Amino acid sequence: MGRLEEKVCVVTGSNGGIGAAVAKGFLREGANVVLTEFRTKGAAEHAKETGVSEDKWMVQPLDASKRDSVDALIAATLERFGRLDVFMAHAGSNNRYAHFLDATEEDFDYLMANNCRSIFSCSQAAAKAMLSTGGGSIIHTASMLSFIARRNSVVYGATKGCVMAMTRNMAYDLAKYNIRVNALAPGTVKTNQNKSRLEDPVYLERNLNDIPLGHIGLPEDMVGAAIFLASDESSFVTGTSILLDGGLSTMR
């Protein structure tokens, strides 16, 4: 407990799944946390589950693909807490899986806006806010598909490869400002976004057969790595990723 004491952290897409689990983990470690939500609500309920006083957190609406919405998030954070130390750019989408021959330009544009332009805008705005306080930590959500291939994932995988490329290059540009940039790269994780696919026994069995640890990940499995990257324990870590895939990528 207390590994993030009094740090000000933003977690985008924290109305459920990985984002909510990380936001709750940050709160339990003593951070002041700004949670965000877009079309689906519920961020406040997740924060309340921690039992942490409401003076330690707030909820801000965010469309991460729109720069004015991102700027409003940063402004609200600074108005409430006075600084920004950690920004986890988690908001994104994985609901456009399709075989390459069936994928559309609309699929491509949608995922690029939600998974790439959002990371660019959020990270740039966060970095500018961190300049005045001597640095900080930016955490991206990439994917195991940043590194390996899976069926029906050309467009989604391309966006997550883009996230990893931005992570490395942002880290290089921002190092002199003491701003670290890293990424989490989850494998198959049980969230609402992929609930229907995981309820397909064929899909579930295929995934389980690929994972050496023998089980699907849970959002809570992502929290420890996120806390590490947010904390001063990772002060010499930048431009890299932590794979959280149960060993799946070792099989490729």
Residues catalogued as catalytic: 156
Distance CA 167, CA 169 (A): 6
CB neighbours of 87 closer than 8 A, spacing ≥ 6?
9, 10, 122, 123, 126, 130, 136, 137, 138, 139
Backbone angles phi, psi at 26, to 5 degrees: -65, -45
Interatomic CA distance for residues 7 and 223, integer angstroms = 16
